[in-house]
């Protein structure tokens, strides 16, 4: 549809041509017919000039549009290249993560296979218990084959008991306990499978496997809530085992994100009698941010500075023993008897980065006395008995690995 502007321009040119023709005729410059012919010529020239100017403007607009399209195409090409680069980076990251997960899983499986194989290799050297030495109850009479079968087929249950803050009694941590089940589903008492392992000479292998399974399950428990803290028992056999520990340390290095959730726990007697190799390996775990706890404290007159250097961040003492120690005025933390106020005991440990936990608390009366000395945490049947982790969580652990024949 012709635009109104174009119509006005054409009419303007026509008026100019008519005026020119009339002027030529009236002034007598040329005949009437020739004057109108000259007016038509003027109209034609003006139209051609306008058409040329319009085409020039349109060409400039077209060229500008072409340049804009080229710039847009270049910009789009850069965005596509950038997107491809990001896709390549994401693909490489996914492949790297998948490769790392595969390597981790392969390492876990190999470690488990090695531990189970080492248990199996002890079969021929295990002395059979004599009737006189055999325990009397059914659980204590478990044989090493039952223990091997339970470990090899992943019949390991993880029990957890809450550790609460005082006086709020809010759960801040859990302590974990490993329990084995036989083929019939009966729980094997810890003393029973430890006795059987000692008889077979494979205590280190059993300790290592229980520790590794505990860490595996804790790794899955903490996926949903990293704020949770779990105490996991660590034996000197595992720490000083130069065959097992390097692989375990590498496993923990790859899962250093667990350092805020996993706390390794050893007894006071084990800590004080640790070998140089065990001390060195504990320090290597501490280098990756993992913390330690000491439990079964029989004597509070401990070297707190040494505990701090070793990465000890928690110390557990029976509530009744703590109260007795205070009542008797016994030395605590290297300070002479009677030289420290009861309320300052927790602060003495805290100044070295160690929190005191009153464990095995079973009566409200004990809590009242513990609160008088500002103990921050407590554990015991009063706050909850050890309970097994849900079966559906345990099923997320690694698949059972059959013992090598």
Q: Please report, for the chain, the start and end positions of each structural domain, with discontinuous segments joined by +.
A: 4-83, 122-394
Q: Which helix (H) or strand (E) holds 150?
A: helix 144-152
**Torsion angle (degrees, nearest 10) of CA 263, 269, 275, 276:** 60
CA gap 339, 334 in Å, rounded: 10
Task: List residues bridging with 211 in a β-sheet.
Answer: none
pLDDT of residue 214: 81
| CATH C-level class of 122-394 | alpha beta
One DSSP character per residue, 154-198 reads T-EEEEEEEEEETTT--EEEEEEEEEEE-TTSPEEPHHHHHHHHH
pLDDT of residue 198: 78
pLDDT of residue 200: 78
User: Would strands 156-165 and 291-295 be described as parallel, antiparallel, or unpaired?
Assistant: unpaired
Would you call the peptide bond into 167 cis, given omega within 30 degrees of 0 as the criterion? yes
Distance, C-alpha 128 to centroid of its chain = 45
Q: Rounded to two decimals, what is the model's pTM?
A: 0.65
Across 353-384, b (16+ Cβ under 10 Å) vs e yields: ebbbbbbbbeeeebbebbeebebbbbbbebbb
- CB-based contact 343:373 (threshold 8 Å): yes
One digit per residue, the tens of pLDDT, for the chain of length 405 reads: 456 666 666 667 667 667 666 666 666 666 666 666 666 666 667 666 666 666 777 777 777 778 788 777 777 877 877 777 787 777 666 655 545 554 554 555 555 556 556 555 554 333 333 333 333 334 445 778 888 888 878 788 888 899 999 999 999 999 988 888 888 888 888 888 888 887 877 777 788 878 887 887 787 777 766 677 899 988 888 888 888 888 888 888 888 888 888 999 999 999 999 999 999 999 999 999 999 999 999 989 999 999 999 999 999 999 999 999 888 888 888 888 677 888 889 999 999 999 999 999 999 999 999 998 889 999 999 999 998 887 655 554 444 433 333
- Sequence-ordered list of residues with C-beta below 8 angstroms from that of 54, at least 6 positions apart, any chain: none
Helices 4-26 and 32-121: crossing angle in degrees, nearest 10, is: 160
Task: List residues bridging with 267 in a β-sheet.
Answer: 295
**Residue 245, class by beta-carbon neighbours within 10 Å (0-12 exposed, 13-18 middle, 19+ buried)?**
buried
The CA-to-CA distance between both ends of the chain, in Å, stands at 93
Instruction: Return the percent helix, strand and coil in the chain, to nearest 5.
Output: 55, 15, 30
pLDDT of residue 377: 95
Q: Of 321, 370, 373, give the one whose Cα is nearest residue 348.
A: 373
Task: List residues bridging with 358 in a β-sheet.
Answer: 317, 378
């Amino acid at each position: 549809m012709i635009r109104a502007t174009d119509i006005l321009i054409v009419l303007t040119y026509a008026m100019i041509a008519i005026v020119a023709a009339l002027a030529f005729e009236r002034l007598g410059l040329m005949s009437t017919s020739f004057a109108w012919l000259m007016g038509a010529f003027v109209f034609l020239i003006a139209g051609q000039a306008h058409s040329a100017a319009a085409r020039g403007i349109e060409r400039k607009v077209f060229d500008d549009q072409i340049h804009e399209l080229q710039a847009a195409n270049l910009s789009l090409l850069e965005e596509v290249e950038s997107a491809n680069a990001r896709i390549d980076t994401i693909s490489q990251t996914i492949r790297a993560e998948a490769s790392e997960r595969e390597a981790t899983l392969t390492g876990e499986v190999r470690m488990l296979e090695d531990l189970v194989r080492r248990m199996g290799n002890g079969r021929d050297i295990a002395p059979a218990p004599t009737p006189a030495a055999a325990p009397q109850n059914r659980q204590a009479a478990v044989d090493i084959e039952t223990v091997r079968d339970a470990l090899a087929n992943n019949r390991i249950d993880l029990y957890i008991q809450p550790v609460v803050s005082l006086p709020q009694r809010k759960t801040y941590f859990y302590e974990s306990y490993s329990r084995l089940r036989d083929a019939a589903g009966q729980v094997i008492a810890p003393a029973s499978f430890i006795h059987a392992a000692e008889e077979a000479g494979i205590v280190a292998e059993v300790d290592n496997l229980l520790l590794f399974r505990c860490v595996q399950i804790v790794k899955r428990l903490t996926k949903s809530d990293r704020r949770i803290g779990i105490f996991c028992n660590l034996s000197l056999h595992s720490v000083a085992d130069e065959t097992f520990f390097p692989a375990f340390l590498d496993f923990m290095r790859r899962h250093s994100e667990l350092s805020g959730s996993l706390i390794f726990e050893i007894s006071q007697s084990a800590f004080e009698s640790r070998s140089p190799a065990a001390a060195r390996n504990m320090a290597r775990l501490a280098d990756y941010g993992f913390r330690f706890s000491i439990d079964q404290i029989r004597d509070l007159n401990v070297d707190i500075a040494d505990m701090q250097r070793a990465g000890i961040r928690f110390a557990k003492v029976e509530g009744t023993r703590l109260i007795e120690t205070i009542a008797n005025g016994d030395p605590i933390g290297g300070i002479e008897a009677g030289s420290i106020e009861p309320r300052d005991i927790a602060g003495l440990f805290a100044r070295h980065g160690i929190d005191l936990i009153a464990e095995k608390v079973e009566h409200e009366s004990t809590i009242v006395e513990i609160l008088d000395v500002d103990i921050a945490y407590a554990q015991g049947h009063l706050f909850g008995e050890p309970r097994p982790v849900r079966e559906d969580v345990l099923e997320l652990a690694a698949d059972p690995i059959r013992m090598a024949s």
